[in-house]
Structures are given as structure tokens and as C-alpha cells.
């Protein structure tokens, strides 16, 4: 079993940053956090030269990366490429995200995810099905021709991944409450997104088992004085989770600061909604037969709708510090601890503590990634 210790690092612990601790790794897991003076002489030391050592980032919404879009290539090789591309930016765990598509493509994507997890492809934690049970009025870049209401067979298909997390985004006004309850009973984490629901419809969805909201503020009915909408319901509800895209484009920083003030600490987490340009030299890709190009870090389709993002998780963390005024330790938790809790992985991921997976990322003083480890292994 490979055993070593990270030393000379500013380690993010449950109590904040500590510079006096070594992180002892045995095999795939963190064995202990110990003072340097108590570290055995026979332990291999890996000097991080004062860098911050954080829990590895967990991204619940990754459409693509490394030049690959999951919808266009629902294969194990594609998942490997996507995960490798995002690993460069500190992401050690992700949910490959399939946007609205036909049932046959959904089946291929679920099968590829199942196989990737069985083969131990680093970083693949499950799948995010973003649609196709969405609202045409808030379709964003999704193809509304793919939208439908799930029947019993599709509920079974959508929840057929047995060896990882299944996250499913739907419009609660389009899916019967009993169908939402059936998805939850079968183990899916159900969230609301691409929805034109009223406040009352959103509350009914929460009562049926909706656990959170996909990219808060984007593609959902807004908060208004006499109609709180989806955004109002999301901000009011203390128990639900909200993913947020902090790229300075999808949502104004002031609106995100309002969400931070409204939601209990830990209920907002960072996502990228990343598209193939992340980690790739080519800024263009194909989506539903249309060529889309990232320009100045912004991804829009021909109609002008935002088509995902060119954001990576390390940049999202930096933006949370620089645009939202958060301390690095809180921005890091929004990229690791909180998404782990949202996905039900809080016992194994998202913290630097004994017994947790040795999924780690190191950042220098400029918050640039200097190293990533998944299950104790460097790339």
C-alpha cells in the first residue's frame, strides 16, 4: 500500500486552514492529520512549498470538456477524456451531464457511466440527466423537441444506474407529483431547473421530493413582488440546495450575493455547466447539429442563448473569492464539501480528514492549481 505525507502545506480542515499539520495518505484514503513533529522518519514526505491543500473539487454539472460533448459521445472513452480535462483545474469528482435527448441516447449515457465507474475511471461519480422533462418556455439551449413527460418505463430507465449517483433536473410543473416521488423512491436526487413553475407549483414540487435547483436564477421563473416564482421559492426554502454558476456572465454577482445572504450556509455550491472548450484548444463544438463557439469565455448559440459555459472549477473558486468577496476556505467548501453533502457523499468525499478519500487539490498564492490527486494518485 502506497504511503506518504503531504507536508509544508496550508491544509483546509473543518476548523479552517492549518499550516502545522501533515496529511498522511495510505492507499486511496487519508489516514490521519498529524503534527509534523509526530510524523515518522520512515514516511515519504511530499513538500507542497506552502501551497493551500484543499479537498478536491466536485462538479455536479459537466456537459463536456477536452473537446468532447457527452451527448455527442456517450462512451467510456469520452468520460475519460472529460474527466481528464477537468482534473487539470482541480476537479477530482464530477457528474457527466446529459442534456435533453432521446431515450436511446439516455440509455447509452447511463450504460457508459455504469461501465466507467466499474472500471474505476478517475473522477466519475455518477450521472446528471438535465432533462428531458423540462419546460419549453425556459428551454435555454435545450432542444424542446426532445421534451416529454416520463412514463413508468422512462422512470425506470432514468434511475437504472446502480453504482453511482443519479441527479435528475426536471420542471416540477411538467411532471406529476407521483412521478417525482417515484424517481426519488428509486434513488434519484431530483432538482428543479429549466422551469416556468409558479411559486405554488415549485412548493408542490419540493413537497413531492425535489431537493434543490439547477443553476439558480438561470432558466427559471424570476422573483417578483407579487409572484415569487422558482427563484423566490428556492431562496425562501432553508432545506433545498442550489447550484450556482459564478462566471460573471450567467448571474450578476449582486444577485449571487443576495442568494448567499438568503440561504443557510452550505446550501449553495459551485457548478461549471462546462462545455467541450474547457481543457481544449478548439473553442467550437457541435450541439444539436449547430456549431457553437466560445468567445471571450462566453458560450452562446445562434439565437443568443447561453449554451453552457467555458468555466472550470478552479476559476469558479477564484471568482467566488474575487467577485463575491468570500474567503478562500468558504469558496473551496462550495466547490467540495457542500456538493459532496448535496450528492450524499459526505462520509467519503469533500473533506480533508481521516477516513476520507484522498481526493485533493493544491493551489498556489494566486489560486492556480499546482497539483491534483484522486484516491491518492497524481495524474
> What's the pLDDT tens digit per position in 242-258?
999 999 999 999 999 99
Binding residues for Zn(2+): 130, 194, 215
Q: Is 175 helix (H, G, I), strand (E, B) or coil?
A: coil
* CA 372 remoteness from chain centre: 17
Rounded mean pLDDT, 363-368: 97
Confidence of residue 120 (pLDDT cuts 50, 70, 90): very high
Tell me whether the omega of the peptide bond preceding residue 279 falls within 30 degrees of 0, making it cis. no
Residue 1 clears pLDDT 80, i.e. is over it: no
Rounded mean pLDDT, 22-38: 95
Confidence of residue 139 (pLDDT cuts 50, 70, 90): very high
DSSP state of 309: B
pLDDT for 40? 84
Rounded mean pLDDT, 199-225: 98
pLDDT for 44? 95
Rounded mean pLDDT, 154-173: 98
Binding residues for substrate: 141, 218-219, 226, 250, 306-308
Please tell me the distance from the alpha carbon of residue 195 to that of residue 220, in angstroms, as a whole number: 5
> What's the pLDDT tens digit per position in 49-87?
999 999 999 999 999 999 999 999 999 999 999 999 999
> What's the pLDDT tens digit per position in 274-307?
999 999 999 989 988 888 988 888 888 888 788 8
162 with 152: CB under 8 angstroms?
Answer: no
Q: Which of 35-39, 146-150, 163-167 has the lowest mean pLDDT?
A: 35-39
pLDDT for 80? 98
Write down all domains in the chain, each with its CATH number in brackets. 3-54+354-373 (2.30.40.10), 56-342 (3.20.20.140)
pLDDT for 255? 98
pLDDT for 290? 87
pLDDT for 298? 87
Classify the C-alpha dihedral 69-269-323-373 as positive or negative: negative
109 with 157: CB under 8 angstroms?
Answer: no
Classify the C-alpha dihedral 242-248-254-260 as positive or negative: positive
| Residues marked as catalytic | 273
CA angle 31, 88, 372 (to 5 degrees): 15
- Beta strand pairing call for 241-244 and 268-270: parallel
Rounded mean pLDDT, 5-30: 97
Classify the C-alpha dihedral 285-288-291-293 as positive or negative: negative
Please tell me the distance from the alpha carbon of residue 238 to that of residue 33, in angstroms, as a whole number: 33
260 with 217: CB under 8 angstroms?
Answer: no
Q: What percent of the chain has pLDDT over 90?
A: 91
Rounded mean pLDDT, 178-201: 98
Rounded mean pLDDT, 143-172: 97
User: Which residues, in sequence order, are bridge partners of residue 274?
Assistant: 62, 309
> What's the pLDDT tens digit per position in 312-353?
999 999 999 999 999 999 999 999 999 999 999 999 999 999
Per the prediction, the chain carries an average pLDDT of 96
Binding residues: 130, 141, 194, 215, 218-219, 226, 250, 306-308
CB neighbour burial string for 306-341, b if at least 16 within 10 angstroms, e if fewer: bbbbbbbbbbbbbbbbebbebebbbbbbbbbbbbbb
Amino acid at each position: 500500500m502506497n504511503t506518504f505525507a503531504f507536508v509544508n502545506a496550508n491544509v483546509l480542515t473543518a476548523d479552517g486552514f492549518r499550516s502545522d499539520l501533515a496529511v498522511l495518505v495510505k492507499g486511496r484514503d487519508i489516514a490521519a492529520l498529524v503534527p509534523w513533529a509526530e510524523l515518522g522518519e520512515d514516511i515519504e514526505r511530499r513538500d507542497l512549498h506552502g501551497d493551500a491543500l484543499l479537498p478536491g473539487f466536485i462538479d455536479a454539472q459537466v456537459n463536456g470538456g477536452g473537446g468532447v460533448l457527452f451527448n455527442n459521445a456517450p462512451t467510456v472513452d469520452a468520460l475519460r477524456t472529460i474527466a481528464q480535462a477537468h482534473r487539470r483545474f482541480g476537479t477530482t469528482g464530477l457528474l457527466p451531464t446529459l442534456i435533453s435527448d432521446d431515450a436511446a441516447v439516455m440509455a447509452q449515457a447511463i450504460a457508459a457511466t455504469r461501465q466507467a465507474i466499474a472500471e474505476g475511471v478517475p473522477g466519475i461519480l455518477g450521472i446528471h440527466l438535465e432533462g428531458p422533462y423540462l419546460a419549453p418556455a425556459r428551454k435555454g439551449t435545450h432542444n424542446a423537441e426532445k421534451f416529454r413527460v416520463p412514463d413508468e418505463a422512462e422512470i425506470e430507465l432514468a434511475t437504472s444506474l446502480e453504482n453511482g449517483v443519479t441527479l435528475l433536473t426536471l420542471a416540477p410543473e411538467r411532471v406529476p407529483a407521483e412521478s417525482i416521488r417515484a424517481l426519488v423512491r428509486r434513488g434519484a436526487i431530483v432538482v428543479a431547473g429549466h422551469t416556468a413553475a409558479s411559486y405554488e407549483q415549485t412548493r408542490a414540487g419540493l413537497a413531492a421530493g425535489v431537493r434543490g435547483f439547477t443553476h439558480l436564477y438561470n432558466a427559471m421563473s424570476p422573483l417578483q413582488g407579487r409572484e415569487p416564482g422558482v427563484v423566490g421559492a428556492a431562496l425562501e426554502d432553508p432545506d433545498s440546495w442550489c447550484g450556482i454558476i459564478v462566471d460573471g456572465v450567467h448571474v450578476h454577482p449582486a444577485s449571487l450575493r443576495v442568494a448567499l445572504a438568503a440561504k443557510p450556509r452550505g446550501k449553495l455550491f459551485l457548478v461549471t455547466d462546462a462545455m467541450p472548450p474547457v481543457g481544449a484548444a478548439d473553442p467550437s463544438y457541435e450541439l444539436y447539429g449547430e456549431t457553437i463557439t466560445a468567445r471571450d469565455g462566453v458560450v452562446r448559440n445562434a439565437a443568443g442563448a447561453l449554451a453552457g459555459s467555458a468555466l472550470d472549477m478552479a476559476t469558479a473558486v477564484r471568482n467566488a473569492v474575487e467577485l463575491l468577496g468570500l474567503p478562500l476556505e468558504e469558496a473551496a467548501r462550495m466547490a467540495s464539501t457542500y456538493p459532496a453533502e448535496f450528492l450524499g457523499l459526505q462520509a467519503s468525499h469533500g473533506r480533508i480528514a481521516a477516513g476520507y478519500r484522498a481526493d485533493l487539490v493544491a493551489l498556489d498564492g494566486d489560486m492556480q492549481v499546482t497539483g491534483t490527486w484522486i484516491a491518492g494518485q497524481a495524474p
